[in-house]
Structure formats: C-alpha cells, structure tokens
C-alpha cells in the first residue's frame, strides 16, 4: 500500500515538474514576485531603496542613488544634458520587462543627449504622487515632464470594496479565518514568484484582466474625480512655475482593448474632461491600442495593465516623435 502511494506521489510530482518546465519553456505565463530588499515600506510613502538591485517580476533590476530604475549598477547621468522627468506607477516602471526594453529605456538609448529620470514606483497612485511633487527640485535641467496615467492611479484598491460590498458579502474568503487567509496569501505570494504553471492556471481560470477592470469601472462610475483633478492641477502649477513643459499620456487596461466600447472607455472620458478643463497637453493612446491587430500581445500575460516588451516598444514608437526641443 505504501509502495503504491509513493509511486503515485512520485508520478504526480514528476508530472507537475514537467508541466512547470513546459509552462516556462513555452512562456505560457509570467512571474509576479518581488524580491525583498528592493522596496522601503517603512516611510510614509514607500519607495525603491537607493543603490539596491534584485529580481522584480522575474527580471533583474537596478536602482540608482536617487531610488530610480536604471539600466545597470553605477549608472550615471550627464548633468550638462537637458532632462526629462517621467512620472508613473508600475506600468511606467516596467514590471516584468528588462530596463532597456521599457519605453523609458528605449528613449534613454535613442536620445543619448537627454537624461531620463524615471521616478515611477510600483504601487504608486495619486496619494503617492502628491507626496513626490518635490521631485522637480532633485534633478538638474528638467525641461519636460511626462505623467503616464494608468486607470488605477485614482485609488488604492481598498476603496473599491467599499463601493461593491454587497457583491462581496457572501464570498468564501469572508468565511475563512484570518490565520487561514494569511496562510493562503503567503502561499499565493510564494507561487506567483516561483511557479509559471500556477500563474498560467490562475490566469486561465480567473481572467485577472477582466476582474480588475470591473473594479475600475465601478470606481470611475461612482467617483467625482476631484482627487485626480487636484493632483493634476498641482502638478501643472509646479511645472509652470519651473518653466517645465508638462505632457500627460493615458494608457488603457488590457480588457478595454478587447471591446473598445463607449461604456468601457468611461474612465478615459472622465480623465480627458479634467485635462481639457485645466488646459493641459495630453495624448490618449487608447485608440492606438484598440486599433492594434492583437492588442493582448501588448500586455504582460494575464495582467490587467502592465505592458509586455512588445507593448513598451509600441508606446515608445508613439512617444518618440514627441521628444524634441
């Protein structure tokens, strides 16, 4: 009996190992783990640890002395060059993509007479951006600033639950004890950092892109957008005082590009209304994404908003013509 049990366990283990290796080889999914020692969470606003390096979403990353993502360790800027400040969250940071393949990295490589300060940090939203308005004072010769908006900039995730409590009251997670829930989350965090097979199964069975967007659209439908208007107004005023040209770029969620209907594009419409009111220069890249032959390829696998290397190249090609003086 024990022998049969051991044989069955060994068979299952070998099968899972084979499927794991196959998932990795065929690139059926991507990892989403973050190595400890990269992000400082002790301060009021979390930030990348200056001078650190490690693995983030399966890619080796390097952080400079300012806490910004750079191509390699000990990367230096030419202080005599004009500079461009880049503002954003994990999409602009380039989760899961090598720095040189991100749109900021491509700009850096193709406009060598300019400095690109990528101040984007994973997990940032409006409340974080408000606290980093002094970034303009940290860098020399800043002539332009680009703020790349992704739709989750307006909330921290928890506020979504408040708007949709009725739909969540009976969810199974509510019935699990705090201890069990913590254990589940730890196992989930471990597997999303280590297992391509696990990420593939989760992606196929739960459709994270759709799930996240449904949360987003609920929020935009019920929010007056005052917080975003306040931040963009302050960002614009700060830029104007320092004689810096501000440009805002809107990036879509993957699910929106499946059906580019008027209903799905409500978030962009509400943001654009604010930008027009404040007379701020902007570009909405949503249409270009929607017109792309297979827009899903522009995004990280089974991910609601992060761009793939192909997606970063796509944004770079849209953006490169705007980098001029």
Cβ(273)–Cβ(171) below 8 Å: no
Q: Is the Cα dihedral 261, 266, 267, 269 positive or negative? A: positive
Could you say which DSSP state residue 49 is in? P
- Residue 207 binned pLDDT confidence (cut-offs 50, 70, 90): very high
Same domain for 20 and 91?
no
Cβ(129)–Cβ(231) below 8 Å: yes
Distance CA(279)–CA(240), nearest Å, equals 12
59-63 and 82-87 as β-strands: parallel, antiparallel, unpaired?
unpaired
Which ranges constitute the DSSP H helices of the chain?
2-25, 90-93, 103-110, 126-130, 158-163, 165-168, 172-175, 178-194, 196-206, 208-222, 226-241, 266-277, 286-291, 309-319
β-bridge mates for residue 34, sequence order: 56
In this prediction, residue 244 carries a pLDDT of 95
pLDDT digits (tens, 9 = 90+) for 230-282: 999 999 999 999 999 999 999 999 999 999 999 999 999 999 999 999 999 99
β-bridge mates for residue 148, sequence order: 249
Same domain for 1 and 138?
no
Task: Confirm whether 130 is domain-assigned.
Answer: yes
Which CATH number do you get for residue 294? 3.40.50.1110
pLDDT digits (tens, 9 = 90+) for 121-139: 999 999 899 888 888 888 9
Q: Which of 42, 60, 13 is nearest to 197 (CA)?
A: 13
Residue 60 corresponds to which tokens in the numbers above? 């080796």
Task: Confirm whether 289 is domain-assigned.
Answer: yes
pLDDT digits (tens, 9 = 90+) for 42-85: 888 899 999 999 999 999 999 999 999 999 999 999 989 999 99
Cβ(286)–Cβ(265) below 8 Å: yes
β-bridge mates for residue 142, sequence order: 83
Task: Check whether 285 has a pLDDT greater than 60.
Answer: yes
Same domain for 114 and 11?
no
Q: Name the residue range of residue 14's domain.
A: 1-29
Same domain for 84 and 6?
no
In this prediction, residue 162 carries a pLDDT of 36
Same domain for 145 and 289?
yes
β-bridge mates for residue 22, sequence order: none
Same domain for 129 and 15?
no
Full DSSP string of 81-146:
SEEEEEE-SHHHHTTTS-GGGSHHHHHHHH-TTEEEEE---TT--HHHHHTTGGGGGTSSSEEEEE
Same domain for 236 and 312?
yes
Task: Confirm whether 198 is domain-assigned.
Answer: no
Please state whether the predicted TM-score (pTM) of the whole model is above 0.85.
Answer: yes
Residue 121 phi, psi dihedral angles, 5° rounding: -135, 135
Task: Confirm whether 56 is domain-assigned.
Answer: no
Same domain for 114 and 240?
yes
Number of structural domains found in the chain: 2
Same domain for 153 and 91?
yes
Task: Confirm whether 68 is domain-assigned.
Answer: no
């Amino acid at each position: 009996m024990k022998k049969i049990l051991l044989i069955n366990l060994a068979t299952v283990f070998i099968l899972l190992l084979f499927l794991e290796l196959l998932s990795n080889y065929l690139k059926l999914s991507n990892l989403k783990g973050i190595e400890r020692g990269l992000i400082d969470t002790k301060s009021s606003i979390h930030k990348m640890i200056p001078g650190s390096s490690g693995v983030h979403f399966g890619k080796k990353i390097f952080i400079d002395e300012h806490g910004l993502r750079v191509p390699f360790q000990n990367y230096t800027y030419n202080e005599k060059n004009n500079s461009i400040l880049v503002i954003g969250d994990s999409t602009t940071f380039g989760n899961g993509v090598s720095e040189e393949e991100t749109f900021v990295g491509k700009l850096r490589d193709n406009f060598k007479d300019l400095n690109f300060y990528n101040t984007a940090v994973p997990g940032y939203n409006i409340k974080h951006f408000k606290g980093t308005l002094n970034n303009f004072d940290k860098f020399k010769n800043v002539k332009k600033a680009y703020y790349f908006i992704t739709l989750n900039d307006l909330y921290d995730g928890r506020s979504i639950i408040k708007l949709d409590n009725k739909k969540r009251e009976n969810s199974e997670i509510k019935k699990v004890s705090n201890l069990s829930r913590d254990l589940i989350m730890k196992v989930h965090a471990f597997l999303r950092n280590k297992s391509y097979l696990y990420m593939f199964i989760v992606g196929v069975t739960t459709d994270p892109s759709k799930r996240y967007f449904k949360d987003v659209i609920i929020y935009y439908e019920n929010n007056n957008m005052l917080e975003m208007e306040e931040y963009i107004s302050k960002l614009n005023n700060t830029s104007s005082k320092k004689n810096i040209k501000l440009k805002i770029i809107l990036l879509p969620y993957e699910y929106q590009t499946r059906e580019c209907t008027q209903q799905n594009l409500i978030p962009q419409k509400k943001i654009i209304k604010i930008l027009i009111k404040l007379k701020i220069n902007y570009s909405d890249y949503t249409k270009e994404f929607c017109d792309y032959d297979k827009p899903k390829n522009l995004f990280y696998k089974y991910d609601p908003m992060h761009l793939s290397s192909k997606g970063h190249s796509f944004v770079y090609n849209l953006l490169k013509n705007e980098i001029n003086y």
